Amino acid sequence: MAVYAVILSEPNEGAWKKLSDQYPAPYFLNATAALVAPKGTVLTSDIAKVAGIGEDGSVVGIVCEIISRGGYHYQDLWEWFRKVDE
């Protein structure tokens, strides 16, 4: 399943709520960054639209597809990736 990073220029609870409602179990890295794993085929622009990024300038951010991953992070992130990969 594809994983996307959503990075906002500043915290926005409304954007996170919309993403959580549309895409189950996002992983929140901090107040301005999250990972989502939509089921099916979506475009980065679809995810940006759900979050309200760019629509009227009220939410400034970017969505990037993660095509590879590696590094060192807390165990709960790796568990989230494992669930996504199932």
Please state at what angle helix 44-51 crosses helix 13-22, rounded to 10 degrees. 130
Q: Which residues contact 15 (CB under 8 A, 6 or more apart)?
A: 6, 8, 51, 52, 53, 59, 61
pLDDT-derived band at 14, boundaries 50, 70, 90: very high
Q: Which residues contact 57 (CB under 8 A, 6 or more apart)?
A: none
Question: Domain limits of the chain?
Answer: 3-62
10 Å Cβ neighbour count for 10?
9
pLDDT digits (tens, 9 = 90+) for 24-73: 899 999 999 999 999 889 999 999 999 999 877 789 999 999 999 889 98
pLDDT for res 56: 79
pLDDT for res 67: 92
Check if the beta carbon of residue 1 is closer than 8 Å to that of residue 63: no
